[in-house]
Amino acid sequence: MNNKNVKYLTTGEFAKLCKVNKQTLFYYDQIGLLSPIFKNEKGYRFYSINQIELYYVIDLLKDLGMSLNDIQQYTQNKSPESFLTLMYQKKEEIVKKRQEIEMKEKLIETKIALMKEASQLDFQQITLEHLPEATLYLSRNIENITAEEFVEVITEFIGELNESQLDTGYPIGGITKREQILKGEFSKYSYLYIEQPHAKEPKEGYPYFTAVSGDFLIGYHIGDDKTIHNTYRKLLTEMERLDLDLGDYVFEEYIYDTVVKNYKEEYVTKIMIQVIKNKQA
* 121-275 shares the fold of 6-77: no
Fold of 6-77: Multidrug-efflux Transporter Regulator; Chain: A; Domain 2 (1.10.1660)
Domain boundaries, the chain: 6-77, 86-119, 121-275
Strand order in the sheet with 191-195: 127-131, 214-222, 268-277, 244-256, 173-177, 191-195, 134-138, 208-211
H or E, element range at 271:
strand 268-277
- Please give the average pLDDT of every successive group of 10 residues along the chain, which has 281 residues: 64 94 95 92 91 94 93 90 94 93 93 96 97 91 91 93 88 95 93 86 68 90 94 97 96 95 96 87 41
Instruction: Write down the CATH number for the domain with range 121-275.
Output: 3.20.80.10
What b-and-e string marks burial along 109-139, b requiring 16 or more CB atoms within 10 Å of the CB?
Answer: ebbeeeeeebeeeeeeebeeeeeeebbbbbb
Give the distance between the most distant pair of CA atoms in the chain: 109
Rounded Cα gap, residues 100 and 50, in angstroms: 35
Q: Helix 11-18 vs helix 22-30: angle between axes, to the nearest 10 degrees?
A: 110
Q: CA 160, CA 245: separation in Å to the nearest integer?
A: 36
User: In a 3-state reduction of DSSP, which class is residue 2?
Assistant: coil
DSSP 8-state assignment for residue 260? T
What is the C-alpha separation between 173 and 251, in angstroms, rounded?
Answer: 7
pLDDT of residue 281: 41
Task: Tell me the backbone φ, ψ of residue 137, rounded to 5 degrees.
Answer: -100, 130
DSSP 65: T
Within 10 Å of residue 244's Cβ, how many Cβ atoms? 19
- Position 280 scores a pLDDT of 57
- Is residue 137 within 8 A of residue 196, CB to CB? The reply is yes
Q: Give the list of residues 6+ apart from residue 11 with CB closer than 8 angstroms, or none.
A: 22, 25, 26, 36, 44, 45, 47
Which pLDDT score, from 0 to 100, does residue 200 have? 60
Q: What is the DSSP letter of 4?
A: G
